[in-house]
Amino acid sequence: MVSERGAYTYQEIMSQGKAWEQTLSAFDQQRAHLAELLSQPREAVVFTGCGSTYYLSLAAAALWQSLTGRFASGVPASELWLFPAAVLTAKPSLLVAVSRSGETSETLRALQVFRQRSAADILGVTVYAESQLAQSTPHVLVTAGAEEHSVAQTRSFSSMYVLIQAMTAVAAGNLPVLEHLRQLPDCFERLVRAYAPLAKSLADDLNRQHFVFLGSGAYYGLALEAMLKMKEMSLSAAEAFHFLEYRHGPKSLVNEHSLVVGLISDASRLEEIKVLREMRSLGARVLALDDSRQGLEADDAVELASGLAYLERGALMLPVLQLMAYYRSMANGLNPDMPTNLDAVVRLNG
Ligand code: F1P
């Protein structure tokens, strides 16, 4: 059956709340098998993936280190495969391999290299329980309701992120965080109802052709993912940086064709608002996403209104930005279900 242009992507974006709810229920079922794995203190945890799931690994490492107080890093699977000495500490204590498909060659090869160098535990995080990743790792966490037809990850990414948030809360012994995550599905429904029109109006403003996504701490990986959606779906010029890093050169590209999107955190909110103020003075249109619009200086604001903490509400940063990428793709006459040059899974020969 040939679907209408963009139909899969739209349905996958708009069903994220349901996928998060199903994933958190699935986590409750899977948690018992991981109790022993997650209860051990870990000195150095490595998260790895490719493309979207590398960006997810960056977000996951910042989350893990912030909640557990122990070192964590996020690395591209290709770097772990080809430059293990550069990315693995002497004694890694856990490798978390993240892959929607569970079939990406670089991720599977990174696992092989890791096994050759360390006897440490390995945990797979994936959407597909029958995948090579799921079948080859001793421990695995699988999302529910996050399967996708589209190439660009949307509900799969955010569901794996919520799953890792839940796992990290348990590893940190912080069960209130796990309970707070159960509010995310309702927050999602309210958010897309309120802000889908804004996402479309920003996408339809074809005067804006240069997209910049800024995020710091646990939101940097999410800013990279938002950038990749805009690039994959709409073939637009899109960049992502740590918030204050943007001043150190890359801002030279800002002009009246720029849309700068700020994923505002709690700790550095005032400094982040100053960056957005400066970008507006350079001609950019500014969109800010935060739990409260209070004090924001932006042309447009997305108020998450979750009441959740910075480390709990990260998934809510994505849906409006995914919709903006979808609507820009449609405005460009493209099919977001089938991004140019891309395959859903990168399989290497030889
Ligand atoms: C990783 C990935 C995606 C990208 C594209 C190609 O896939 O690079 O991040 O968007 O779909 O594959 P996976 O290992 O997460 O399945």
Which among 79, 107, 157, 148 has a CA at the least distance from the CA of 344?
148
Determine the residue of 57, 80, 98, 100 to mutate for testing ligand 1's pocket, defined as the one with the most ligand atoms within 8 A of the Cβ atom.
100
User: Residue 291 sits in a domain of what CATH number?
Assistant: 3.40.50.10490
For ligand 1, whether the C-beta of 198 sits within 6 Å is no
**Which of 156, 181, 206 finishes a domain?**
181
The CB of 107 under 6 Å from ligand 1? The reply is yes
Domain containing 146: what range? 7-181
Is residue 100 lining ligand 1, measured as CB closer than 6 Å? yes
Residue 275 falls inside a structural domain: yes
For residues 40 and 119, membership in a common domain is answered with yes
Spacing, Cα 153 to ligand 1 middle (Å): 7
Q: Are residues 208 and 148 in the same domain?
A: no
**Could you tell which of 158, 345, 348 is best to mutate to test the pocket of ligand 1, judged by most ligand atoms within 8 Å of the CB?**
345
- Ligand 1 atom with the shortest distance to the CA of 49: 14
104 lines ligand 1 (CB under 6 A): yes
Domain boundary among 181, 216, 247: 181
Same domain, 171 and 191: no
| Measured distance CA(327)–CA(322) in Å, rounded | 9
Query: Per the domain annotation, does 347 fall within a domain?
Result: no
> Of 162, 181, 200, which marks where a domain is finished?
181
Give, using CA atoms, the residue closest to atom 4 of ligand 1.
51
Q: Kindly give the distance from the C-alpha atom of residue 284 to the centroid of ligand 1, in angstroms, as a whole number.
A: 31
Indicate if 23 and 76 belong to the same structural domain.
yes
- Structural domain total, the chain: 2
**Is residue 341 in some structural domain?**
no
How far is CA 341 from its chain centroid?
Answer: 22
Fill in the amino acid letter for 278.
Answer: E
Query: 180 in ligand 1 pocket by Cβ < 6 Å?
Result: no
Residues 81 and 223 in one domain: no
On whether both 209 and 162 belong to a single domain, the answer is no
pTM of the model: 0.97
Ligand 1 in contact with 345 (CB < 6 A)? yes
Residue 340 domain-assigned (yes or no): no
Q: Which residues pair with 214 in a beta bridge?
A: 241, 262
Residues 199 and 142 in one domain: no
Domain for residue 174, yes or no?
yes
Contacts of 347 (CB under 8 A, 6+ apart): 103, 104, 105
Phi-psi region of 4 (alpha: psi -120 to 50; beta: other; left: phi over 0): beta
What is the distance in A from the centroid of ligand 1 to the CA of 340?
Answer: 14
Q: Which atom of ligand 1 is nearest to the CA of 101?
A: 16
* Positions in the chain short of pLDDT 50: none
Q: Are residues 158 and 53 in the same domain?
A: yes
Look at ligand 1, atom 2, and give the residue with the nearest C-alpha: 51
> 102: CA distance to ligand 1 center in Å?
9
Residues 111 and 134 in one domain: yes
What is the residue with the minimal CA distance to atom 14 of ligand 1? 99
State whether 94 and 131 are in the same domain: yes
Nearest of 91, 110, 87 to residue 99 by alpha carbon: 110
Let me know whether 241 and 203 are in one domain: yes
Within this chain, do residues 157 and 209 fall inside the same structural domain, yes or no?
no
Structural contact between residues 44 and 91, judged by C-beta atoms closer than 8 angstroms: yes
What span, in angstroms and rounded, lies between the C-alpha atoms of 188 and 306?
9
Q: Which of 9, 79, 153 to mutate to test the pocket of ligand 1 (most atoms within 8 A of CB)?
A: 153
In a domain, 49, yes or no: yes
